[in-house]
Amino acid sequence: MKRTLGKSGIEVSALGLGCWPIGGEWKTSNGGTMRFGKIDDVESIKAIQRAVDLGVNFFDTADIYGRGHSEILLGKALKGIRNKVVIATKFGYSFDEVTKEDKGINYSSEYIKKACIDSLRRLNTDYIDLYQLHLWEIPLEDAKGVFNTLEDLKKEGLIRSYGWSTDHPQCIDFLIKNTNAVAIQHQFNILINADKILKICNDYNIASINRSPLGMGLLSGKFNKDTVISKDDIRGNNIDWMIYFKDGKPNYIFLEKLDKVREILTSNGRTLAQGALAYLWAKSEKTIPIPGFTSIKQVEENAKAMEFGPLKKNEVEEIETIIGERISIV
C-alpha cells in the first residue's frame, strides 16, 4: 500500500512509524524523569531496519523526542539506506541536548534554522523530507514568519516539504490558505472524530498524518481494566491531554467501546491493532497512520496490516454506529 504526501509528490508507505517511544527518558520540570514505555536502543534500531524490510519507508520523529535521542537512533538505523526512506521530523520546543532539560518553545526564524541544522546532524542526513511545526497553536500573526522561514529552508535544499502538527481549526485554515504545506499531522483513531480535517485534506490534497492511531497503545488489546501503568511512564500520569489513560489505568469507557467493536476489527484474521489501522485507511486515501513502537514484534504486526488493507465501507459504518458519539478534538 502506498500514499502520497499531498502536493509534494513524495510517495510513502501507507503505514509510517512514530518514533516518540524510542526516544527514551527525558527530564521533567520537577526534576524527575519520564518515558513512554521501556526501550532498548539496539532493539529500536533493529525494529526500524525490520520495518524497511517489510515495506515501511516513512518515519516520523521530532527533535524533542528523547531530547534528540530519537533522531540519533533513526539516523543510525537508516545509515546506508537514506535514499530508500522518507524522514519527517518536527521543531518548536527548545531543549539542552546534553542535560535533556527543556528550554521552552521557540519558533523564531533563527531558531528554526538552527533546529533544522541540528536535526540534520542527528539524523545523519543532508535533507529532511517533511519538516513540521510541532506546536499545536501559535498566534496567526507569527505563523507567516514561520512558514516563510520554511520556504527559505526548502529553497536551500535542506527540506523537501513542510507541514504542521495541529488539530486547531484556525491554524489548519491558515495553513491551507497561506502556505504550500503538504501535510497536517493530527490525532485520529476509531474513538476520534476527525471528519472535518479529513475533508480538508481531501479537498486541498493534503496528507493526513495520524498520530495516536492506536490510542497510545490502548487499541492494541494489551491493556485491560486491571492494568496499572507505572508513574514514570507518561501514560501513568494525569496529564491534561491524556485521554486514553487516567490515574494510571486505561480509560474504562474506551475499553468498553473497544470490546463492542472487537469482532469487526479482528475480522478476516486481523489483530485488534491491524483492524484499528485498517479503519483509518478506509476513511480516506490521504491517511497515513504512524503508530509508535518499541519492539520488532510490534513493527511486524503493524506492517502486516498493509497486507490486509482497509476495512470495508459497511464495517466502518458499523463501527461508528456501535461506538456512538466520537470525541471531537476540534
Which residues are part of the catalytic machinery?
65
Measured N-to-C along each axis, helices 313-323 and 252-265 cross at an angle, to the nearest 10 degrees, of 160
Report residue 173: phi and psi, to 5°: -60, -45
Contact by Cβ (8 Å): 15, 289: yes
Question: Nearest 5°: CA angle at 186, between 180 and 190?
Answer: 140
Give dist(CA 175, CA 147) in Å, integer.
9
Which residues pair with residue 35 across a beta bridge? 233
Which residues pair with residue 246 across a beta bridge? 249
| 3-class DSSP state of 210 | strand
Lookup: cell for 122: 542527528
Give dist(CA 60, CA 274) in Å, integer.
19
| Cell numbers 533544522: residue | 116
Q: Which residue spans within 47-114 are E strands per DSSP?
A: 58-60, 86-91, 93-95, 102-105
Q: Report CA dihedral (66, 114, 207, 57) to the nearest 10 degrees.
A: -60
Residues 6+ apart with CB under 8 A from 146: 107, 109, 112, 133, 138
Give dist(CA 276, CA 189) in Å, integer.
7
Which strands make up the sheet holding 207-211, listed edge to edge?
A: 16-18, 58-60, 86-91, 128-133, 159-165, 183-187, 207-211, 287-289
